[in-house]
Structure 1
Amino acid sequence: MKTPPAPARTLPAIDNDNRAYWTGGEHGRLMICRCGHCGYYVHPPVPFCPQCESSDVAPEPVSGRGRIASFTVNHKVWVPGLAAPYVLALVALDEQEDVRLVCNITHCDPDAVRFDMPVVVWFENHEDLWVPFFRPVEQAA
C-alpha cells in the first residue's frame, strides 16, 4: 500500500537565531539555545539570555524528552490533507521545565493523550527543514 504524501505545511522563516532548531533534526538532534554564562535554556531562540542578559547564547542538543504540559485535540481540518483529529500540545523539556515547545503529538490515539505524559521527539522532513514532533515514550521503541 502506498503511503499518502504528507500534508503541505506552512514552513517557518529561517534566520541565524532559529536555523539550528529547524535543521538539527536531519541529524536526529533537537537543538535548543543555551546561555554559556549561566546555563539557562532559551526558547524561542534569541541572541541573548533573558535570565542574565549575556549574549553568549548558542544552540546545543538536548535529550528530546519532555512531558505534556498542555494540549488540545483538534477535530477541524485547518490545512487540506491534515487528518483530524490531531493533538496540538505544549511539551515541557526535561532539561528545563519552562522551555515549552508547541508541537503535534503523534503515534497514539488522540484520546490517549494525558497531561504530564512522557514524550520523545521525532522529526519530519519538509524541504530543507526538519519539523519536530513528539510521541509517547512507550511508542518510541
Structure 2
Amino acid sequence: MSAVRAQALPGDRVHITTDSATEPFWQAAKERRLVACECADCGHFRMPPTPFCPECQSTAVDWVRLSGQGEVYSFTVIHGFPGLPDVTMVAAVVDLPDAPGARLVSNIIDVDPADVRIGMRLAVDFWPIADGWQLPVFRAVEPAEQR
C-alpha cells in the first residue's frame, strides 16, 4: 500500500455554474443530499440533468433523493494538476443503483489509488467548494461494511 491518498482539489479551485436544469441538483448537494433527475412521465433517470428526457422528450421532472451508495463503473488516476503538482486524484464514473442507468462523474477521495477497482462500492460525501456550494465526492466503503 502506498502512502499516496487520492484527494479532491482545494475547494477554492472548483467553481460551478448552474442553470434551470441543474440548479436542483446543486441545491440538494449544498444540503448534503444526493439527488437524480427522473422523468415524471416515463421514469427514465438522467445524469447529468437535462431540460428534457432523452427517451420521451418530456420536460416533466421529479428529483429523487438517493441513498448515496455507488459503484465504480470506470476510473482514472490523475497525478498532478496545473499549479498543484503534488495532487493525486481518482476521477470516476459512478453507477448510482438507486437511479438505474444514471452515472455521475465524480472523484473518489481518501483512498490509495492502487486499491480502486471496477465494481468497488462507494458512499457519497460532500466537499466544500467555492461560493458556498458542495461537491458530491465518493469514499470507498470498507470491506466490513460491504456485507
- TM norm. shorter chain > 0.5: yes
- Summarize the Cα distance change of 1:28–1:82 in structure 2 as closer, same or farther, 3 Å threshold: farther
SS of equivalent residue, structure 1 residue 133: strand
C-alpha deviations, 1:57-77, integer Å up to 9, x for none? Answer: 1322112211101111111x2
The aligned residue for residue 42 of structure 1 is 46
The aligned residue for residue 110 of structure 1 is 113
Task: State yes or no: 1:32 paired with 2:31.
Answer: no
In the alignment, is the contact (CA less than 8 A) between 1:8 and 1:81 conserved in 2? no
From 61, 67, 71, the counterpart of 2:71:
67
SS of equivalent residue, structure 1 residue 25: helix
TM-align CA RMSD: 2.2
Task: State yes or no: 1:86 paired with 2:89.
Answer: yes
Instruction: Return the offset for 1:82.
Output: 7.1
In the alignment, is the contact (CA less than 8 A) between 1:17 and 1:46 conserved in 2? yes
Partners of 2:125 and 2:85 in 1: CA distance: 18
Q: Which residue identity is paired with 2:22?
A: N
Ranges in structure 1 where 5+ consecutive residues have no aligned partner: none
SS of equivalent residue, structure 2 residue 38: strand
Ranges in structure 2 where 5+ consecutive residues have no aligned partner: 1-8
In the alignment, is the contact (CA less than 8 A) between 2:45 and 2:100 conserved in 1? no
From 52, 56, 65, the counterpart of 2:56:
52
Partners of 1:44 and 1:86 in 2: CA distance: 21
Partners of 2:82 and 2:62 in 1: CA distance: 34
From 79, 82, 98, the counterpart of 1:95:
98
- Summarize the Cα distance change of 1:132–1:21 in structure 2 as closer, same or farther, 3 Å threshold: same
In the alignment, is the contact (CA less than 8 A) between 1:7 and 1:82 conserved in 2? no
- Structure with the greater relative contact order (CA < 8 A, sep ≥ 6): 1 or 2? 2
Aligned pairs, number: 135
